[in-house]
């Protein structure tokens, strides 16, 4: 069993390769939930959904969110009627939000909801939300403090990010399922996801840090030079007080890391880092990177 | 202007005829909201929706609820995933619930939400929820006290009804819009809807009774003999302590009524009642009944 820490784009791209070289049942994914929110009365868990859909074989891999070929009847009409849904929600995707909303309101933990949804979608990998507690990443902007989804989807990351922080009623605690997976895996891979908004929320969950201390941990940098491969990582890293590059990323993870992988083209050297082509432009590149990671683990 | 008191089936059938003999702009419909509920995080107002859809020309007139030709992608998948939605909700229908839920959460009154939705659907009739307050009809059954929608849709009215009552935080008050419509109309028609679950909730709203006292009020009985034309009226009338027939209905409305119309076939005579064919099996029958009502008003 290998466990991955994942956000919603970079790490799923890696997982798409991984599942061609390892059986789904041997993959466990601990997923960021700090972007979750209730929208239109139902529960959106963007990174969990992307990972579930990937393993269910229904992910839209053009956008890396939503269900391939989904219709948008309810979304388009609701907005014509004034709903103001700023996130595009497909009808099938909404069905997942509705079911999860109902299960949560019925008292189930997010972990249980996810397990039920995975079962019904035929997902064989183990998909674990990082916590059952509510926590959200907020961005301070000149327009006020807004949920990260609003910052990224509604404003397309175009507002100046002055600060970034987590909002929660109590400090989130990693679930027992997460701690067990981290401790019992053969290795843990920190995927090439946004360090501020995807990976750090997982590392911040109580129990994760100590569970990883004695583990073999490999991280893949989401940066090439001073730009992330995708998404809003650079500006947010700066707002967070980190260097927006591989060096900044490696420093964030340094007390956990055994191996750090950065792109062959990366102009910001990280001492002791392994170099590989991390730009997963297609599934073949994902498979090559997956094989490289597995070799490092087996050594 | 003629104002109608309406539930979700009998009166809309009459309205379908009315709108062929009078322009939509001259029709005002005060609609029961005691069957409203939040379902899957959004706001269902079954009778308001039926009336809006009728005037928007999109009502499914096979079932007299929902949108004609609607798809059920989100409903079917959500239930496969454990949502437990016991009411069939089409994707377009859901869009209306989503928009209304969002508008209500945004602080709009139900009356304003309905006006906005009607505008965007091109509805020219005036559709007024009876109140902006929350009130729900509950049925006491051996399984416990349940919302009327649950009794009627989930259990298909097959549980014994021991009692029936309204549940509300404060006694519902008719909106100013409703009072003005009732007072300023040329006449008020109490449509052939369920007296217990559709009409009485409207009459119970504070202000309605006195607004109707000096009005010309015509009621159409929803019963023929001891059976209602459709729906669960008979058993519920009994649970409510009323005779389940035209006589019981006329007694409920007696201090308001100028004219009571009952079916030509009705074996339960009501003194002074007008007789007409009230069984609206098709639109022609609805038109004939509409013309008859208009003649009575113009006399």
* Average pLDDT score over chain A: 96
Tell me, what's the pLDDT at A98? Answer: 98
Spatial contact of A26 and A299, defined as CB atoms under 8 Å apart: no
pLDDT category of residue A294 using cuts at 50, 70 and 90: very high
Cβ of A112 under 8 Å from any chain B Cβ? Answer: no
pLDDT category of residue B28 using cuts at 50, 70 and 90: very high
Spatial contact of A196 and A35, defined as CB atoms under 8 Å apart: no
Taking an 8 Å cut-off on Cβ atoms, the answer to whether B78 and A91 are in contact is no
How far is the alpha carbon of A108 from chain B, nearest alpha carbon, in Å? 12
Query: What is the average per-residue pLDDT within B262-283?
Result: 96
For residue B232, pLDDT over 90 is answered with no
Nearest to B40 among A42, A71, A85 (CB): A42
Between CA B118 and CA A262 the distance in angstroms is 57
Between CA A115 and CA A127 the distance in angstroms is 7
**A236-259 pLDDT per residue, tens:** 999 999 999 999 999 999 999 999
**ipTM score assigned to the predicted complex:** 0.91
For residue B299, pLDDT over 90 is answered with no
Nearest to B84 among A79, A80, A102 (CB): A102
Nearest to B83 among A78, A82, A102 (CB): A102
Query: Chain A, 19-38: which have a CB under 8 Å from a chain B CB?
Result: 38
Q: How far is CA B265 from CA B16, B195, B259, B274, in A?
A: 23, 20, 18, 12
Residue of chain B with shortest Cα separation from A92: B74
Q: How many CA atoms lie within 13 A of B196 on its CB side?
A: 27
Cβ of A91 under 8 Å from any chain B Cβ? Answer: yes
For residue A61, pLDDT over 80 is answered with yes
Strands A259-263 and A274-276: parallel
Phi, psi of B88 (to 5 degrees): -70, 120
Tell me, what's the pLDDT at A12? Answer: 98
Tell me, what's the pLDDT at A228? Answer: 80
**A110-169 pLDDT per residue, tens:** 999 999 999 999 999 999 999 999 999 999 999 999 999 999 999 999 999 999 999 999
pLDDT category of residue B228 using cuts at 50, 70 and 90: confident
How far is the alpha carbon of B116 from chain A, nearest alpha carbon, in Å? 8
How far is the alpha carbon of B84 from chain A, nearest alpha carbon, in Å? 8
pLDDT category of residue B86 using cuts at 50, 70 and 90: very high
Matching residue, tokens 């007072």:
B183
**A176-202 pLDDT per residue, tens:** 999 999 999 999 999 999 999 999 999
Residues 6+ positions from A4 with CB-CB distance below 8 Å: A11, A14, A15, A18, A27, A28, A29, A30, A188, A189, A190, A191
Strands B37-39 and B27-31: unpaired
| Residues on chain A touching B78 (C-beta within 8 angstroms) | 94-96, 98-99, 102
Torsion, Cα of B228, B229, B230, B231 (10° steps)? -10
Q: Map residue B180 onto helix, strand or coil.
A: helix
Cβ of B89 under 8 Å from any chain A Cβ? Answer: no
For residue A66, pLDDT over 80 is answered with yes
Residue of chain A with shortest Cα separation from B38: A41
Cβ of A102 under 8 Å from any chain B Cβ? Answer: yes
Matching residue, tokens 């509604």:
A154
Q: How many CA atoms lie within 13 A of A156 on its CB side?
A: 1
Taking an 8 Å cut-off on Cβ atoms, the answer to whether A85 and B102 are in contact is yes
- The pair of three-digit structure tokens given for residue A122, joined into one six-digit string: 């035929």
Tell me, what's the pLDDT at A299? Answer: 86
pLDDT category of residue A234 using cuts at 50, 70 and 90: confident
Sign of the CA dihedral with B164 first, then B168, B171, and B177 last: negative
How far is the alpha carbon of A30 from chain B, nearest alpha carbon, in Å? 21
Taking an 8 Å cut-off on Cβ atoms, the answer to whether A103 and B82 are in contact is yes
Tell me, what's the pLDDT at A229? Answer: 79
Cβ of A279 under 8 Å from any chain B Cβ? Answer: no
Spatial contact of B44 and B20, defined as CB atoms under 8 Å apart: no
- The pair of three-digit structure tokens given for residue A61, joined into one six-digit string: 């891999």
DSSP letter string, A144-159: EEEEHHIIIIISTT-S
Q: With CA atoms as reference, report the closest residue to B145 among B239, B79, B231.
A: B239
Between CA A189 and CA A244 the distance in angstroms is 20
Spatial contact of B45 and B6, defined as CB atoms under 8 Å apart: no
Taking an 8 Å cut-off on Cβ atoms, the answer to whether A74 and B91 are in contact is yes
Q: With CA atoms as reference, report the closest residue to A110 among A30, A171, A196.
A: A30
Q: Which uninterrupted H or E stretch holds A141?
A: strand A135-141
pLDDT category of residue B83 using cuts at 50, 70 and 90: very high
Tell me, what's the pLDDT at B230? Answer: 78
| Residues on chain A touching B84 (C-beta within 8 angstroms) | 102, 106
Tell me, what's the pLDDT at B130? Answer: 98
- The pair of three-digit structure tokens given for residue A104, joined into one six-digit string: 């949560």
How far is the alpha carbon of A299 from chain B, nearest alpha carbon, in Å? 42
- The pair of three-digit structure tokens given for residue A276, joined into one six-digit string: 């590989």
Cβ of A168 under 8 Å from any chain B Cβ? Answer: no
Cβ of B58 under 8 Å from any chain A Cβ? Answer: no
Tell me, what's the pLDDT at B131? Answer: 98
Percent of chain B's residues with pLDDT above 70: 100
Between CA B197 and CA A37 the distance in angstroms is 37
| Residues on chain A touching B58 (C-beta within 8 angstroms) | none
- The pair of three-digit structure tokens given for residue B36, joined into one six-digit string: 């409203």
Taking an 8 Å cut-off on Cβ atoms, the answer to whether B74 and A77 are in contact is no
Between CA A155 and CA A138 the distance in angstroms is 13
Q: How many CB atoms lie within 10 A of CB B274?
A: 14
pTM of the model: 0.93
Phi, psi of A86 (to 5 degrees): -85, -10
Establish, for the pair of chains A and B, how many residue pairs have beta carbons separated by less than 8 Å: 124
Torsion, Cα of A84, A85, A88, A90 (10° steps)? -110
**B3-13 pLDDT per residue, tens:** 999 999 999 99
Residue of chain A with shortest Cα separation from B104: A83
* Average pLDDT score over chain B: 96
Range in A54-58, A154-158, B136-140 the model is least confident about: A154-158
- The pair of three-digit structure tokens given for residue A285, joined into one six-digit string: 């590149």
Between CA A108 and CA B159 the distance in angstroms is 29
Q: Map residue B258 onto helix, strand or coil.
A: coil
Residue of chain A with shortest Cα separation from B41: A41
Tell me, what's the pLDDT at B211? Answer: 97
For residue B287, pLDDT over 90 is answered with yes
Spatial contact of B198 and B242, defined as CB atoms under 8 Å apart: no
Distance from chain centroid for Cα B190: 10
Tell me, what's the pLDDT at A253? Answer: 96
Tell me, what's the pLDDT at B229? Answer: 79
Residue of chain A with shortest Cα separation from B89: A74
Residue of chain A with shortest Cα separation from B92: A74
Percent of chain B's residues with pLDDT above 90: 96
Taking an 8 Å cut-off on Cβ atoms, the answer to whether B99 and A91 are in contact is no
Cβ of B81 under 8 Å from any chain A Cβ? Answer: yes
Q: What b-and-e string marks burial along A274-283, b requiring 16 or more CB atoms within 10 Å of the CB?
A: eebebebeee
Q: Which uninterrupted H or E stretch holds B292?
A: helix B283-298
DSSP summary character for residue A195: I
How far is the alpha carbon of B104 from chain A, nearest alpha carbon, in Å? 10
Taking an 8 Å cut-off on Cβ atoms, the answer to whether B81 and A91 are in contact is no
Partner residues linked to B135 by β-bridges: B168
Tell me, what's the pLDDT at B233? Answer: 78
Q: How far is CA B64 from CA A43, B45, B68, B195, in A?
A: 31, 14, 9, 18
């Amino acid at each position: 069993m290998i466990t991955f820490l994942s956000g919603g784009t970079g790490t799923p791209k890696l997982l798409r390769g991984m599942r061609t070289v390892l059986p789904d049942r041997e993959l466990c994914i601990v997923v960021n939930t700090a972007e979750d929110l209730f929208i239109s009365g139902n529960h959106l868990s963007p990174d969990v959904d992307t990972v579930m859909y990937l393993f269910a074989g229904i992910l839209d891999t053009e956008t890396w969110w939503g269900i391939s070929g989904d219709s948008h009847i309810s979304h388009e009409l609701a907005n014509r009627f004034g709903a103001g849904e700023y996130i595009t929600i497909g009808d099938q995707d909404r069905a997942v939000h509705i079911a999860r909303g109902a299960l949560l309101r019925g008292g189930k933990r997010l972990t249980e909801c996810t397990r039920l949804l995975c079962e019904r979608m035929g997902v064989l990998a183990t998909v674990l939300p990082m916590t059952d507690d509510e926590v959200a990443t907020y961005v301070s902007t000149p327009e006020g403090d807004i949920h990260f989804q609003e910052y990224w989807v509604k404003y397309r990351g175009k507002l100046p990010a002055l600060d970034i922080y987590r909002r929660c009623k109590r400090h989130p605690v990693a679930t027992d399922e997460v701690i067990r997976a981290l401790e019992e895996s053969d290795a843990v891979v920190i995927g090439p996801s946004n360090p501020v908004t995807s990976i750090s929320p997982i590392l911040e969950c109580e129990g994760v840090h100590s569970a990883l201390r004695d583990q073999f941990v490999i991280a893949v940098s989401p940066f090439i030079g001073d730009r992330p491969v995708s998404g809003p990582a650079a500006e947010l890293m700066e707002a967070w007080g980190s260097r927006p590059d591989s060096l900044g990323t490696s420093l964030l993870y340094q007390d956990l890391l055994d191996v750090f992988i950065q792109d062959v083209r990366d102009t910001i050297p990280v001492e002791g880092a392994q170099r590989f082509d991390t730009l997963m432009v297609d599934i073949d590149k994902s498979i090559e990177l997956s094989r490289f990671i597995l070799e490092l683990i087996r050594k």
